[in-house]
A and B are shown apart, each in its own frame.
Chain A
């Protein structure tokens, strides 16, 4: 039986700050002790660079590093040569844009994305479209915060209005960082491939892997990018999954150490996958820490921790309704079945930065701003908003503290 109160003992930040109400897990999650211990152990017990060393510490570091790759493979159902360690989701998406996008997009081609993308999965494609003379087409959203892709008769996903045979790349997020919306990625990809079987599908999984069980083969995406630090792991590490055939056909993204087989004066033979895309010394300690985050995540999944987060989100909505104020507008997905645990809102007469500052006076951490989603905020007709995002360590008392804080905001800006 999942017990969030007990789980909080695993997170030193919560233990060291008992008054903290942390409601910003979509920005970065807190890290459990096993992750921190693994990072410290590398620095305190066997610091060494990986791959080249013939001495014990280097071999141990290499082994631990590769164990993380195995753990990620198991987590998302990929094979070892399809998993590339990057700095973060942003770098993974840029890797695909530079190494694949710039080589396949020609004038008159189409790239399709959505209005709910984080800038990291929007700006690269927008810039590629501008530079290579392609059309950028954007899927819209409905009033409840889902993608506007459902056929009004059958209720099924249909991309007939937006994806065409000229669409070479479809880039979209699995879960929206502002709306909390879980997109039906599998159905979307199937629908896109019915129109154009060769379409390259790039999925931003930064807000998904910590909440959903992801199987990249089942989804049938070409690329899937995510970040360690949002899934209870260290900062500075990202993962890019790519279908083997795609990765093999792509030139390297960065040149340097680790990614070569032979270097001659006039030419270079590149390393095989995945090293071909891992130039330079990576974030060794953090990547080693990532395996422990993956294991933590798997143990959470086996305890149905997501049910806990869903319950908290619905309690939050009930208490917001009980406030019975007409000044608060909910911007996140109100169909809670398709929301991972994000509550984004605005209050008439109170600026998001003021809301966040007043909540911070009660040690409540929320996010205020456009959350790297300006196109979405323009669509919602808001310059900025305030966002609560839940993690497995949040409790009913966190929700109560937030509601009390919100009442304070409403009183101050009455």
Chain B
């Protein structure tokens, strides 16, 4: 699981910042492992995500997943994102995630879904 790309995204996460001009913000915490992710969105009148940022303490899988997801959703309409699912996140990561770690992979998507 720990390919170079995942470790790089862990050490140098993308969009890793809180937005000061956010229109939406959601946090989820997985008490089992302590993964804690907050995603901020700036959504314009046309429902397009203009800016996105995330913060929080989490494992490598969760943080890499949040990096890739936030990159993906930038510039997209919220309504386009409703159909995103676990299979999409697996493909986005491009690595096999063991069953015990699927929660870490999906936590950022769960946070996003609360704002769609």
Please report A residues at the B interface, Cβ cutoff 8 Å.
351-354, 357-358, 360-361, 368-370, 374, 382-384, 412-413
Contacts and interface: CB of A to CB of B under 8 A. Distances in A.
A195 B28 CA distance: 45
Interface stretch (B14-22, B42-50, B54-62, B80-88): B54-62
B104 interface: yes
A333 to B, nearest CB: 22
Nearest to A372: B32
B34 interface: yes
A357 B33 contact: no
A361 B32 CA distance: 21
A354 B2 contact: yes
Given A357-B1, A357-B2, A357-B98, A351 B59 contact: yes
Nearest to A383: B34
26 contacts: A351-B35, A351-B59, A352-B34, A353-B33, A353-B35, A353-B59, A353-B61, A353-B101, A353-B104, A354-B59, A354-B60, A354-B61, A357-B2, A357-B61, A357-B100, A361-B2, A369-B32, A370-B34, A374-B31, A382-B34, A383-B31, A384-B32, A384-B33, A384-B34, A412-B7, A413-B7
B51 interface: no
Interface string B22-36: 000000000111111
A351 B60 contact: yes
A354 B36 CA distance: 15
Q: Most A CB atoms within 10 A — which of B36, B57, B60?
A: B60
Interface in B58-116: 58-61, 98, 100-101, 104
B7 to A, nearest CB: 7
A370 B34 CA distance: 8
A383 B7 contact: no
Interface residues of B, number: 19
Question: Which 6 pairs across A and B sit closest by C-beta, in order of nearness?
Answer: A383-B34, A351-B59, A384-B34, A353-B59, A354-B60, A353-B33
Contacts of B61: 353-354, 357
A37 B63 CA distance: 46
A358 B32 contact: no
A357 B64 CA distance: 15
B96 to A, nearest CB: 12
Contact of B36 (A352, A368, A369, A383): A383
Contact of A369 (B33, B58, B98): B33
A357 B100 CA distance: 9
Contacts of B34: 351-352, 370, 382-384
A374 B7 CA distance: 28
B2 A383 contact: no
A382 B57 CA distance: 11
A134 to B, nearest CB: 26
B54 to A, nearest CB: 16
B2 A412 contact: yes
A360 B101 CA distance: 12
A374 B29 CA distance: 14
Contacts of A354: 2, 59-61
B33 A383 contact: yes
B32 A357 contact: no
Given A357-B1, A357-B2, A370 B59 contact: no
Contacts of A351: 33-35, 58-60
A351 B32 CA distance: 12
Contacts of A413: 7, 10, 60
Contacts of B58: 351
A357 B101 contact: yes
A352 B2 contact: no
Most chain A CB within 10 A, of B34, B57, B58, B100, is at B34
Given A351-B59, A352-B34, A369-B33, 20 more contacts: A351-B33, A351-B34, A351-B60, A352-B59, A353-B33, A353-B61, A353-B101, A354-B2, A354-B59, A354-B61, A357-B1, A358-B2, A361-B1, A361-B2, A370-B31, A370-B32, A370-B34, A374-B31, A382-B34, A412-B2
